[in-house]
Structure 1
């Protein structure tokens, strides 16, 4: 178990009632490899389960994305124990649909509200950072993710087919 960094990252570290969200650093590579190579977690994510090399490349991209954009994907930690739970945050979708909310936590986290808490924190951060529209995409049969997106206030706005699966697009628009 790797503990969440204690070095404050002004404006980038997010704390909720139970979680600490920290932009990923190279020290998180082992946790990210375990998470992203696990089919229980990443099988339904865009581009699926990752190789170790792919995770390493994505980590470098995530670090750069934070430097350029000022927002991105966080590593999610249970504050009370320092346990790594997964990832949540914002990414630019490669299909041009826009900036998207994403979250992927260990299956053991299900039913505890961690995904909802982390996704809501990421969504709020994105709107505070000036994003007027944030989307999310979920497979129509992934009811758990769809419920999280609806619970944090995102609404269905579109749908498309990806690998013969119907994908639902949700959106959140910043209010003045």
Structure 2
């Protein structure tokens, strides 16, 4: 499967690339951004390994993390991803997992929903599975609202790496379904 470029009305989503490193370093060092994901800013070493992981997932699985940029200016907004992290979690995440992160400077403008819908459409068209799933920290109310807006519903509460998380699922949509 070739890496896909997705476009929406306002965004261009391209598979993550090594040229995204500076933007990723800026994003992952922002404590407002990382608060609900890692709980702390990431070091340059951690961001580099994260980038290598994301690059590798594209080559191994044929899907992965997309870099989100504004179509008109090329400004970096964040990312949306289909994940296969093989997390050690109960219940296990056996279906495609969606994840997303948007720079605080661009939040509240509908960009994350636009990108997430494009990634979900791609997932439904190209991957098997009866559903997609996501994992959100219970205090991350903005991401919970977004997940609900695009069709996810809670199905379990559990812990991951000693932190409580809410698991959500979204049934796969067949082509032509609204």
Instruction: Please report how far the alpha carbon of residue 164 of structure 1 lies from its aligned counterpart in structure 2 after TM superposition.
Output: 6.2
Alignment match, 2:158: 160
Q: CA RMSD in A?
A: 1.9
**Is the 2:138–2:164 contact (alpha carbons within 8 Å) kept by the matching residues of 1?**
yes
- Give yes or no for the alignment of 1:122 onto 2:119: yes
Q: 1:130 to 1:148 in 2, by over 3 A?
A: same
Partner residue, 1:75: 67
**Counterpart contact for 1:89–1:123, Cα < 8 Å:** no
Distance change >3 Å, CA 113–CA 89, structure 1 → 2: same
User: C-alpha offsets along residues 81-102 of structure 1, whole Å, 9 cap, x if unaligned?
Assistant: 1100011111123224233211
Q: With the length of structure 1 as denominator, give the TM-score of the two structures.
A: 0.86
Give the unaligned 5+ runs of structure 2.
Answer: none
Pick the aligned partner of 2:109 from 104, 109, 112.
112
Please, what TM-score do these two structures have when normalized by structure 2?
A: 0.85
Q: Aligned partners of 2:38 and 2:98: how far apart in 1?
A: 12
1:165 to 1:54, Cα distance in 2 relative to 1, 3 A: closer
**8 Å contact kept, 2:12–2:70:** yes
Q: Does the 8 A contact of 1:139 with 1:168 survive in 2? A: yes
Count matched residues. 167
Task: Please identify, of 46-55 and 139-148, the stretch whose mean Cα deviation from structure 2 is larger.
Answer: 46-55
Instruction: Give 4+ residue runs of structure 1 displaced > 6 Å after superposition.
Output: none
**1:43-122 → structure 2 map (5 Å cutoff):** 43-46=35-38, 48-93=40-85, 94-95=87-88, 96-98=92-94, 99-122=96-119
The answer to whether the 8 A contact 1:156-1:170 is kept is: yes
Tell me whether 1:12 sits opposite 2:4 in the alignment: yes
CA-to-aligned-CA distance 1:7-56 (integer Å, 9 cap, x gap) = xxx65100011111011111111111111121111121157532111111
Residue 166 of structure 1 deviates from its aligned partner by: 3.4
Aligned to 2:19: 27
